[in-house]
Amino acid sequence: MYSLDGEEVWYADFTRGKGVDPQPSFTDHMIYQEGTYEQAVAHQAICRESLKIAREGIKDPLEFDPPSSPMIYTRDDVELGQKNVLLCHVTGFYPAPVTVYWTKNGGNVTEGTSINVPFPNKDGSYRQTSRLEFTPQLGDVYSCTVKHLSLQQPLTRIWDGFRISVLDICDFNSTDLKNIEFIRSWYYNKVEFARFSSSLGEFVGFTEFGLKQAKYWNSDASYMAQLRGDKERYCQHNIQIWYNQILDKSAEPYVRLHSATPPGGHHPSMLVCSVFDFYPQHIKVSWLRDGQEVTSDVTSTDELADADWSGEKISCVVEHASLKEPLITDWGRILVPSN
């Protein structure tokens, strides 16, 4: 094998009895002198004899290093109906080689597959990459399975390329049906292509495919009746349970007001209002200086930058669903910044 910067530029394929140039078409291919393959065959015979002598002399047991979990990815960005190549990359194994099998929708695939010769890593282990030429279609699932002497069970990775998902949302602010909206969103590869909302009562499409699907779903009277009924049947039913068991439950926050020195800051200290152990999550934290809300010198909702606080009353105000009225914590000492 000849390589350049970790990439194969030529190798001898002893199975097919010829030399192989694996470089892509856009490179300037090197021309090897006549007899290069025959020279590789001679070197193979030398390697076999040297290996025999080494085994007899060293007598160390052969160590097996298992391959890493295969990485499976495409050569190009995936587009439905457009030819592409799946690659299954395996590295870190010893000795070489590995055997790679491909499947499509559970059936073995051999047409359009190939694998490079084992390539040595710097640590003495090897790596190989198998390729499968394919045309992606929605719903097709491919797998790459790797077998090696070190493995009791083959390693398999799945590639399905596309993800279609449905997200149902109940948007509400009470258990009253008029304050509830049911939304069903369809996504393809993270892009929303169609949405049903109970306020509109039908689907709306956001892509060319989504427009076709929305028209199809809107014409299905049975499906639309089901979705329109889900506002009450699914949302309202569960919202009542959520209020009874979760939303009406709360835990009052614990507040700690303290002074802290900002890292790398020019002021000796700042006031920090820390709030703990509250439920539910939403909370509001603000500051008062002599009874007036502070909007300047506040670096976030819970920190007040250093200033001349002598003679002033500084308070941290916490508002939360568990509290009947805001929880006000006063700073208990006067700070005079040093010059």
* Average pLDDT for 205-228: 92
pLDDT at 338 over 90: no
- CATH entry, 71-159, from 2.40.160.40, 3.30.70.1520, 2.60.40.10, 3.40.50.300: 2.60.40.10
How many CA atoms lie less than 13 Å away from 309 in the CB half-sphere? Answer: 25
Q: Which residues pair with 90 in a beta bridge?
A: 128
Contact by Cβ (8 Å): 66, 97:
no
Structural fold of domain 164-247: 3.10.320
Q: Which CATH number fits domain 254-330: 3.40.50.1820, 3.40.190.80, 3.40.50.10490, 2.60.40.10?
A: 2.60.40.10
Three-state SS at 3? strand
Answer whether 71-159 and 254-330 agree in fold.
yes
The per-residue pLDDT for 103 is 95
Query: What is the side-by-side order of every strand in the sheet holding 270-276?
Result: 254-260, 270-276, 303-304, 298-300
Note the pLDDT tens digit of each residue in 122-139: 888 999 999 999 998 877
- Cα angle 173-179-180, degrees, rounded to a multiple of 5: 90
- Please state whether the predicted TM-score (pTM) of the whole model is above 0.85: no
Nearest to 168 by CA among 190, 188, 198: 198
Nearest to 293 by CA among 259, 316, 276, 262: 316
pLDDT surpasses 60 at 302: no
Answer positive or negative: Cα dihedral of 25, 30, 36, 41.
Answer: negative
**Higher local confidence (pLDDT), 29 or 309:** 29
Q: How confident is the model at residue 336 (pLDDT cuts 50, 70, 90)?
A: very low
Amino acid in position 108: N
Q: Kindly list the strands in the beta sheet with 202-205, ordered across the sheet, starting from the edge strand earlier in the chain.
A: 164-172, 180-188, 191-197, 202-205
Residue 105 above 80 pLDDT?
A: yes
pLDDT tens sequence across 47-97: 878 777 776 776 666 778 999 889 999 988 877 788 999 999 999 999 999
Higher-confidence position of 283 and 195:
195
